[in-house]
Amino acid sequence: MNFLSGLERLERAAFVFFSLFLLLQCLSIAAANIALGIAVFFLVLQLLQSKGSTDKQALCEAWAQNKNLFILLVVFWATILLSALGSNEPLRALKIFLGQFIYRTAPLFVILFFFAKRKYVSFFLLLTILSCIIDVIGGILVHGDSLRLKGLYGHPMTLAGFLIITLPILYAFLLDWKQKRQTLVVTIVLFLIAFVGLLLNETRGAWLALAITLPLITLLYDCSIKKVIFLIAFAIGTSLVFFNSPQLQNRAESITSTTLQSNTERVLMWQSAYEMFKDHPVLGVGLGQYAPKYLNEYKSPQAKERQNHSHNNFLQMLAENGIVGFLGFVLLFGYLLLSSFRNSVRKLSPYHVLIFGCTLAFILQGFTEYNFGNSAVIKYYWGTLGCLLVLARENRDGFGESSFLRFKFS
């Protein structure tokens, strides 16, 4: 990769290990964390060695270009920190705060502050998508006899979290009919693998999230009659797959079931989380205190499962961090949604459509799963967001031919 020639030695080492992290993030959480830690270590060494002088301009530019996002992140962190300090175990809560809310955003900051160029982030985005695709294929080969596709991590909800971020990107790439034929063929293959993985995964919250997100992506990307026909054909094809698969059909019909245990269990957990919020409305029960409080005080007698989260991002924030943490969470992701939607409508860049699609799918699935608390999924989201923010910034000349500048290296 000759585009690495312009990087200094320590930054080049960080690039290699960060690339390794992106490739491994859907395959092994331990190996990915080690690679990310080494990458951050080399970047810190570079800053110390140069005393910040060589990177000062780049860091200032990154701050200026993403100031609103960074400010809202800090505001969100401050609201969670208040909950941590008000916890019954403040030292444990601070450790959770640093690990869950600070460290997991590292992929975003590494990209925006150190590798904010199209030639780097295009490569990063490719590795991110490949990691998810390999996870799907590996899950089929290793856990093919399971009722639900788990991926190599061995948990269906984690694989679903990867897929709801990956599929909006691949779907939008499918709408780019002016790309080279070879690239379009590769995009189709990758999308089909990911889509089959989503069907075999059978996570209903992910199905619903993408059923809403993909049509909106079509309308925001290019609301032409050809694209609408493509969307309708895709919807009909998907419906036929469900119609001819009793297993998928039964799984879809179970979404509205009032007797299925997984449905009733979620309702009971949501009710318990709301009771926690009512008893502790300002700062919640305290960061890291949801699981013991739920299991020991708030668990419904009718609930049968031992869960350490509420299966809902918003109720988890309300219960554990109160209205203060909830508002910080809503402000952060509300800004990401609204700003990307506005920029998509204004046709500033097709990559804003991807930011909107990935964020919307992530939030929608978050109504039935605490995906923000999933270490692998949230790091996957922050890394993807970093790539898309850089690509959107460097492609501000408008949609032009509605074509994405993807995977192109000098």
Tell me the average confidence (pLDDT) per consecutive run of 10 residues in the chain, 410 residues long: 70 94 95 96 86 63 87 96 90 93 96 91 96 95 82 89 97 87 90 96 95 95 89 94 92 88 90 95 94 91 87 96 96 97 89 96 96 96 97 68 47
In a domain, 389, yes or no: yes
In a domain, 50, yes or no: no
Cβ count near 177 (within 10 Å):
13
pLDDT at 32: 96
pLDDT at 1: 57
In a domain, 195, yes or no: yes
pLDDT at 394: 80
In a domain, 4, yes or no: no
In a domain, 139, yes or no: yes
Element (H, E) at 182: helix 181-201
- For residues 72 and 108, give the distance between their C-alpha atoms in angstroms, rounded to a whole number: 14
Per the structure, the complete domain to which residue 91 belongs is given by 55-259+307-393
pLDDT at 410: 34
In a domain, 142, yes or no: yes
Total domain count, the chain = 1
Residue 85 and residue 97 in contact, taking contact as beta carbons nearer than 8 Å: no
In a domain, 273, yes or no: no
In a domain, 20, yes or no: no
Q: pTM to 2 decimals?
A: 0.94
pLDDT at 406: 46
pLDDT at 393: 87
Residue 273 and residue 318 in contact, taking contact as beta carbons nearer than 8 Å: yes
